[in-house]
Structure 1
Amino acid sequence: MEYQITTERLSKQYKNFKAVDQVSLHIRKRSIYGFLGPNGAGKSTTMKMLLGLTPPSGGTFAIDGLHFPQDRISILKRIGSFIESPSYYANLTGEENLEIIRRILNLPASAVSDALELVGLSEFKDRLARKYSLGMKQRLGLAGALLGRPPILILDEPTNGLDPAGIHEIRQLIRSLPQRYDCTVLISSHMLSEIELIADDIGILNHGRLLFEGRLDALRNTASTQGFDGDNLEAMFLAMIEQDNAKCRERAKL
């Protein structure tokens, strides 16, 4: 099986707090990998390590056969990212915001119009970013990640704060990306009910540890064997998290 992103016992320690604890991920090429876990589980920290924004305390990772840290620059050229809330210049237009990124990345001029069209912002390209709705700001952030059509996208909770219509729009766009772009998507969320609508594979993280990794069908089988409704994976997910929380509380007492 061809994996585009792999991590091996990847860890991140902040003084006495272990944010990521020996996580080994296997993300298939041209798939959507849903990275799940409650707030503070270590999802964003893992993504920041993959982007070189924070160094690992232990373990290794490889992207497209390139290894960190020796291939850091080459790795970054293959990734488009959307981490936490999108950054933009409020007094510039959507098009001008993307133009800054395009110049930094040394991409062709057509990259901006291409990204705007993909996220449905072409008609609003001349509007100041401060006048964008929250949904439009999220789409602008996605457009920045999509500039130059990178083969890998890392998206950290891109539907945060959106209304149901906005969530549906972003979900449909992300779901279409592997086929339209021939790309791989790593997307985080704290809601399994959202991720199961778009993901091929999932990894469940809690307290920095990977509790499950595999296809959605494998999670459904696990749910059935443990007495959960295979059509309601959210209950299985929440129970898995609570069970792990209980184990952590027990360990803390020792």
Structure 2
Amino acid sequence: MNNYIIKTEQLIKKYKSFVAVNDVSLHIRKGSIYGFLGPNGAGKSTTMKMLLGLTAPTKGSFEIDGKQFPNDRLSILKEVGSFIESPSFYANLTGRENLDIIRRILGLPQSAVEDALELVGLSEFGSRLAKKYSLGMKQRLGLAGALLGRPPILILDEPTNGLDPSGIHEIRNLIKSLPNLYDCTVLISSHMLSEIELMADDIGILNHGRLLFEGSLDSLRQNAIQSGFAADNLEDMFLTMVDKDNAGRKQRAIL
């Protein structure tokens, strides 16, 4: 019996003639950190939006914690904290006030806001207006919103964008600690394998909407060795995999 808390079956998303996601089947284990990797425009954000019910699949299906979309959409959303693309806030409210709006909607105690601010290192800036936050601080505030109430599932779309190296290190360590601290599962996207491999248990590689690889980080290392790459240089393996897929697409287009 598998232990997948998120499972998709041949997800397809089309926008008229453009296919953003093409036949994607993901298998995300409970309690794991799943790195969703791909170049910009690969379809990562679109896939995550489908999982959150923000856009409907053209074809295919998925379930989260045994609940089926779309019938159990509201039940699914109660279990998921999310951070998709650049988070938006009320500019003339403080960071604390922005989180308090989410807290009230979720019916959480006031302490949940302070807990989330502390987790992402924004406690001393909670009273600052959101419009005065730097890009990195806005990213932290978005992550704090996703962490409100400590949901069992987190869907995070490139949460370290805009952070300086120190901030990236802090947020990476926080994300790595979450499955053990709060018994949660994390789906996190990035276009940088070097970042993902420092925190993920399993990896899915997407390019032009198609899943090129899915498996454990160790199995990716084995694939790298078998393909003549160094096990400690997965970035080259990833780039070659994407380049090979792109070349194949161009060849098929010519034919």
Instruction: Check whether TM > 0.5.
Output: yes
Q: Deviations over 1:192-242 (max 9, x none)?
A: 001000000000001111000011110000000110111100000000000
Question: What is residue 202 of structure 1 aligned with on the other side?
Answer: 203
The letter of the residue matching 1:206 is N
Deviation, structure 1 residue 64: 0.3
Equivalent positions of 1:1-254 (< 5 A) are: 1-254=2-255
Give the Cα–Cα distance (whole angstroms) in 1 for the partners of residues 181 and 89 of structure 2.
26
Deviates more, 1:108-117 or 1:5-14: 108-117
SS in structure 2 of the partner of residue 127 of structure 1 = coil
- 1:192 and 1:164 mapped to 2: Cα distance? 16
Q: Measure, in 1, the Cα distance between the counterparts of 2:140 and 2:47.
A: 23
Q: Distance in 2 between matches of 1:43 and 1:94?
A: 28
One-letter code of the match for 2:63? Answer: A
Q: Which residue type is aligned with residue 186 of structure 2? A: V
Higher alpha-carbon deviation: 185-194 or 168-177: 168-177
Letter in 1 for 2:20: A
- The one-letter code sitting in structure 1 at the alignment partner of 2:143 is L
In 1, the alpha carbon distance for the partners of 2:117 and 2:239 equals 37
Q: Which amino acid aligns with 1:247?
A: G
Residue-by-residue CA offset, 1:158-186 (whole Å, 9 max, x unaligned): 11122211211111111111111110000
Structure 1: gaps of 5 or more residues? none
> Structure 2 CA distance, aligned partners of 1:17 and 1:252?
15
Q: CA deviation at 1:25?
A: 0.3
Deviations 1:40-83 (A, max 9, x none): 11100000000000000011000000000100110011100000
Paired amino acid for 1:244: D
Gaps of 5+ in 2: none
How many residue pairs get aligned? The number is: 254
Percent of aligned pairs sharing the same letter: 78
CA distance in 2 between counterparts of 1:174 and 1:89 reads 26
Structure 1 residue 134: deviation in Å?
Answer: 2.1
The question of whether the paired residues in 1 share the 8 Å contact of 2:139 and 2:162 is answered with no
SS state of the match for residue 86, structure 1?
coil
Aligned counterparts of 2:179 and 2:135: Cα–Cα separation in 1: 25
Amino acid at match of 1:246: A
- Distance (Å, rounded) in 2 between the aligned partners of 1:170 and 1:137: 13
- TM-score, normalised with respect to structure 1: 0.98
Counterparts of 1:246 and 1:48, CA distance in 2: 28
Task: Give 3-state SS (helix, strand or coil) of 2:156's partner.
Answer: strand
Q: TM-score, normalized by length of structure 2?
A: 0.98
Q: For the Cα contact (< 8 Å) 2:136–2:161, is it kept in 1?
A: no
Q: Distance in 1 between matches of 2:125 and 2:222?
A: 45
C-alpha distance in 2 between matches for 1:104 and 1:64: 22
